Amino acid sequence: MLSPALQVAIDSRPEAGIRIDFPGKPGLRAALARLRPRSQRRLAQYCAGPEEEQTRNLVVEGDNLQVMGSLYRFRGQIDLVVADPPYNTGNDFRYNDRWDVDPNDPDPGPVIGPDDGGRHSKWMRFMAPRLEMMRAMLKPGGVCAVCIDERELFRLGMMMDETFGEHNRIAIINWQKSYAAKNDSAHVSTATEYVLVYAKSKEKARTGLLGRTDAMDRRYRAPDGDPEPWKAGDLNAKAHPKPEDYGIQSPFTGEIHYPAGHGRWRLKRSELKRLLEAWGSRYVAMEDPACTLPSLVLQGTELRDGRLVTPDAVLVNSREQAIRVRDAGPWPQLFFQSAGEGRPSTKRYLRDVKRGRVPTTYWADEEYETPLVLGAQSWGYEESGHSQSGVNELSAIIGPKHGFETVKPLRLITKIIQIWCPPSGIVLDPFAGSGTTGHAVLHLNDETGAERRFILIEQSRPEKGDPYARTLTAERVRRVAVGDWYTGPRAPLGGGFTFKTSTTQIDRRAVLAMQREEMCDLILLSHWDARNRKGPLLTTLTHKDYRYLVAKDASNQGYYLVWEGPDASTPLTVPALAEIIDEARREGLSAPYHVYARISHVLMPEVIFYQIPDEILSKIGFNDSLGEADER
C-alpha cells in the first residue's frame, strides 16, 4: 500500500492538449509516489514577531519537494504560488540522479554545469514533480506564477501546459529586467524575463485590478470650476446595427452634429435634451431629412426646402446664453469642445471611473524611489522593477555581502501578489531565495490593511556553510518586519513568522516527538484518499483555535486530538471528553467523536479512539519493519 503522503493531487486533471517527453520522465510519477513526509522542528531563535503573528506565517528550511509533500494542512488551501526556480544558467541548480528513484534522498547532488549534455533534461526532471506539487497545493481557483528567462522558457511552458492544462494559462508576463541593453550578445541583447501564469481552474480564478497611478488621475481636471475633476469622454456609442441616429444642435454655433459613422449617442434622448437645455435654451425634437430619427434642435428651428433652418435671432440668443453658462461654470455634463466651437463631448468624472487598471502582459513605466545611474545617464524606471533594483533592495536590508548577483525586485513580486492573491489569501514560495515574497506580503499588508499570509521554503545546508534560509531568507523578512535595515532604521512593516527546519522522515520516534501543530498536520495527512486520489477526506478546522477539534469529514463528524506535546502523554479522560462534546456542539458536529490520543481512559460507543502513533503510522503506510533507524 502506498502512503497517502506520497500521492500528488491530480484530481480533476484536464486532458492536456500536448504532452512533452524527456529522458527519465516515465518514472517520475512513480518516484513521486514514494515521497515520504518529513517532520519539522521549530527553531525559536530564527522566529520573528509577536507570538500571535508568528502563527500566521511560516518559513521552512528544507528541500521544497519534501517540504511541500509534508504540508498537508495547507494542501488545497493556497491562493497563489510564486516560484522563482533556477534558470539553468550552468551554476545555479543541483540535481541528484537518485531522486528519479528515491525522492527522499537528502543529498541535493552536484551542481549541473554548462557543459553537461543532459542539463536540460535534468532541469526538467527537477521541475516536473515540483510543478505537480505546486498544483496540488492550490485551491480550485488558485494561481501559479513561475519566473523564468529564455533558457528554459519553452520547456517550462510545455511542462506547465501539460501540468495545468493549456486552457488554464492566464498570461505570459514580459518584464524588463535591465535599464539598458547590455553588450552580452553578438545578435540581440536580452533585457527582459518572463512570468508564466497558470490557474488550477481558469473559470474559478480571479485576476484583480491594479491600483490607479497618480499620472492616470492627473489627467482628470476641472477647467470649468467643477468641484469634481473630470476629463472629456466620447459621446459616441459603439456602432449600431440599425441606422437609429439623430442629430443634436450646438447652442454655440447652430451646427447639427451627428454620431460618427453608423453609431449612436451613448446617452438617452431624454437625458441629452435635459443636458442641452442646461446651456440656457429650449430644445425640441424635429423630423430631420439627414437621419432616421427626429433630431434635437433649438426651439424655433424650421424645416425649409428639405433641410432644418434656425433663424438668426434664435442662434444669437442661444449663443449668448451658452457663453454665459460657459464663463460662469461649471459646465453641464454634455459640453462642446474648443470653448463651444467643436463637437459635443461628455464629462467623465474621476469618481465614476473604476478604481483600478487592467494588468497588461508588458510591465513598464512606473516610478522608483532611487534611480540607478548608468554612466552619466539616468534611465527611466520600470513598473516591475529591475534585477539591479532587487539587488540594491537586498543590500539595503541585509548588507552588501549577501553574494546574490540577481534578485527579483520587490515591485515585481508585489504586483503579482496584488493581482492574484486576495487580501486574506495565502502565498506559497517554494524557491524563497532572498525572501522577496515574504517582504512583499508584509509590505502590502502594511500599505493596504490586507491580511495575506505567506509560506516560504528555502533549501539550506548549514553543515556545508550554506544556511541561506536562516541568514538570508528569514533574516530579510525579520528585518523589514521590525524596521532594522542595514542602511538604518525604517518604518517597521509589522508581522512575523515561525521558522522550522525539515528533519527526519516520519516514523514512530518522530511522531512521538511532535508538537501539537505538527500532529494536526499528520492527522490531516493520514486521511488522504490515496486509492481514489480524491484528495483530503477531512476539512481542517485548526484555524478556529479549538483545544481539541482538528477537522471534520463529509458526514459532519469531528476529529479531535488530545496532545499537549512530546513531553506530556495526556490521556483521553472523561473531563476531556466533556470539552470535546462541547466543541462538537459549538461547531454543529454530530457523534461519533473520532479522538486521537496516546492512551484512553474512556470506553464509550460514541467515541472512536485512535492510538498515537500506531493508528497514524498505519494510515500513512508506514512499514514498521524499517524500524526507527530509517532516518535520513
Judged by DSSP in three states, 264 sits in coil
Q: For residue 221, how far is the Cα from the chain centroid?
A: 34
pLDDT at 631: 29
Q: What is the largest CA-CA distance in the chain?
A: 108
Say if residues 568 and 553 touch (Cβ distance below 8 Å).
Answer: no
pLDDT at 489 over 80: yes
pLDDT at 614 over 80: yes
pLDDT at 272: 92
The three cell numbers of residue 93 are 541548480
DSSP designation for 128: H
pLDDT at 7: 39
Going by their DSSP bridges, the two strands 248-249 and 256-257 should be labelled as antiparallel
| CB atoms near residue 269 (< 10 Å) | 14
Mean pLDDT of 133-160: 93
pLDDT at 87 over 70: yes
Mean pLDDT of 61-68: 90
Tens of pLDDT, residues 517-543: 888 878 877 776 544 334 457 888 887
The three cell numbers of residue 507 are 516514523
Q: What value does the mean pLDDT of the chain take?
A: 81
CA distance 192 to 181: 10
**pLDDT class for 30, splitting at 50, 70, 90?**
confident
pLDDT at 530: 42
Rounded to 10°, the helix 436-448/387-398 angle is 80
Considering the chain, tell me which residue range(s) the CATH 3.40.50.150 domain(s) occupy: 4-177+192-208+386-505
**pLDDT class for 69, splitting at 50, 70, 90?**
confident
Rounded to 10°, the helix 436-448/410-420 angle is 60
pLDDT at 253 over 50: yes
pLDDT at 242 over 50: no
CA distance 253 to 242: 29
Tens of pLDDT, residues 454-471: 999 998 765 555 678 998
CA distance 432 to 457: 6
Show Cβ contacts of residue 476 under 8 Å, excluding neighbours closer than 6 positions.
394, 397, 398, 434, 435, 436, 438, 439
The three cell numbers of residue 455 are 509560506
pLDDT at 141 over 70: yes
pLDDT at 366 over 50: no
Radius of gyration of the chain from its Cα atoms, rounded to whole angstroms = 32
**pLDDT class for 185, splitting at 50, 70, 90?**
low
Which of 167-171, 311-315, 383-387, 423-427 shows the lowest mean pLDDT across its residues?
A: 383-387
Tens of pLDDT, residues 316-361: 999 999 999 999 989 999 999 999 999 899 888 777 665 566 566 6
Q: Please confirm whether the linkage preceding 86 is cis (ω < 30° from 0).
A: no
Q: Backbone phi, then psi, for 344, in 5-degree steps?
A: -70, 150
Overall CATH class of domain 4-177+192-208+386-505: alpha beta
Best-predicted range by mean pLDDT among 41-45, 79-83, 149-153?
79-83
Express as a percent the part of the chain with pLDDT over 90: 40
pLDDT at 287: 92
Mean pLDDT of 210-222: 70
pLDDT at 23 over 80: yes
Mean pLDDT of 255-270: 81
Tens of pLDDT, residues 39-58: 787 888 999 998 888 889 99
CA geometry: angle 306, 307, 310, nearest 5 deg: 140
pLDDT at 611: 92
Express as a percent the part of the chain with pLDDT over 70: 80
pLDDT at 40: 80
pLDDT at 591: 93
CA distance 251 to 310: 11
pLDDT at 63 over 60: yes
Mean pLDDT of 164-188: 74
Alpha helices by DSSP H, 449-573: 468, 474-482, 508-512, 516-526
Alpha helices by DSSP H, 5-139: 28-32, 51-54, 64-68, 119-137
> Residue 28's closest CA among 40, 10, 14?
10
